[in-house]
Amino acid sequence: MTRFYIVGLGNPGAKYEKTRHNAGFLALDDIANNLQFPAFRDEKYHRALESRGQVEGKTVWLIKPQTFMNLSGDTIGLLRKEGLAPEQVIVLYDDIDLPLGTIRIRDKGRAGSHNGMKSLVSHLGTECFLRIRIGIKPTHAVANLSDFVLDKFSGSELEILQTTYPLIAQAMKLLLTGKIAEAQLQFNQKAQITQG
């Protein structure tokens, strides 16, 4: 049976909880809670917190790298040694260019300015892998993007972010069953409408 790795990107530690850069971690927490996965365990060999279960009849590992964002790919590199292939990976991460409250499904693409994604691409050796981008775009001018992504979500922003969790779960289930085009059609159009 094929195993899938749902990788949420973020920074470990209380200092970074509920920051915009941790949108991937927050989404994974919601998935684990709603699908009744066991509590995340510290897998020191993989340098990650992991929870393992079943979704849509598939074996799924939920993974939160604990290496800090810029080295997120280190965890993937360790899993690669155990047989992980790019087609088994779905990455959840924050996207500064996508409006808050929307998501976008991609099956390939460049990492852009996202250092966590740069690290993953480096360790996977390809830009062809599934990802669910989670919008965190500011609604006002921002002087320093690094500061913005490392700031905590406001209460109202968290409420909007939480509306994406059911969308992320639905998209993940479609991707796990190979319905990539259907997921893109269903969720990417919503993102375009919100942007327009």
Tell me if residue 123 is catalytic: no
Would you call 129 helix, strand, or coil by DSSP?
coil
Q: Which two tokens stand for residue 125?
A: 């050796």
Bridge partner residues of 42 (DSSP):
49
Considering the entire predicted model, what is its pTM? 0.94
Exactly one of 21, 46, 114, 123 is catalytic; which is it?
21
**What pLDDT, in 10s, does the model give residues 132-180?**
999 999 988 888 989 999 999 999 999 999 999 999 999 999 999 999 9
pLDDT confidence bin for 190, thresholds 50/70/90: low
Q: Which two tokens stand for residue 190?
A: 């919503």
- Res. 196: pLDDT tops 70: no
Q: What integer best gives the mean pLDDT of the chain?
A: 94
Residue whose token pair is 């808050």: 100
Share of the chain above pLDDT 70, in %: 95
What is the dotted CATH code of the domain comprising 3-195?
3.40.50.1470
